[in-house]
Amino acid sequence: MMNGLPPHLPQKTIHIGGVFASRTATIVHTVLGSCVSSCLFDPQRRIGGMNHFLLPDSYDDDGLPTRYGINAMEVLINEILKLGGDRRRLQAKIFGGAAVLTLQSELLQAGEKNVCFVRQFLETESIPVVGQRLGGIEPLEVYFFTESARALVRPIRSQNLDHLVQREARYRTALAHRLAQLKTEQITLF
């Protein structure tokens, strides 16, 4: 854990597909490669939260829908509203979307697609971005304070990078395999 975090505050770690919001002071933590996290908050009510998504759009309705940006954004907004936040006051801090893999393919350009998606979504919803660290080649570790909207961001250096790259590659392979299965399952022979 990052030095300087208040030990008295509750902490919550989220992973791919995770969404967390709170009206009480909580530190939300995640690690991002090509994934993106959007931290939304209502500064007047001091309600905030974070999501962590893998790809912009959903290709299936099986599994965890919040792995996809379109669902993760809507769920996070709705969670904040349920806690008493006002959509008109929401502000955003956005992180991630790194090009951590040097291979070039449509699936492996997810970071770039995630960055484009989150920027367009927030612009369409008229939610101003007040802080960001997007793109680059290094994965990030992010800590977000739900009550104050403070964000601490630290790049993950190469000694930790191999583990993260392997984890993302395994997840993408499994996702591609599942998508292929869904396409096969949709064929009915008679």
CATH code assigned at 111: 3.30.1330.200
pLDDT tens digit sequence for 99-118: 876 554 555 588 899 999 99
The whole domain housing 140 covers: 11-185
- Report yes or no on 79 lying in a domain: yes
pLDDT tens digit sequence for 1-49: 455 677 788 999 999 999 999 999 999 999 999 999 999 999 999 999 9
- Report yes or no on 131 lying in a domain: yes
Backbone φ, ψ for residue 137 (5° rounding): -125, -5
Please tell me the distance from the alpha carbon of residue 71 to that of residue 68, in angstroms, as a whole number.
6
Closest CA to 27 of 41, 7, 43: 7
Based on the structure, what is the number of domains in the chain?
A: 1
- Report yes or no on 1 lying in a domain: no
**Global pTM?**
0.79
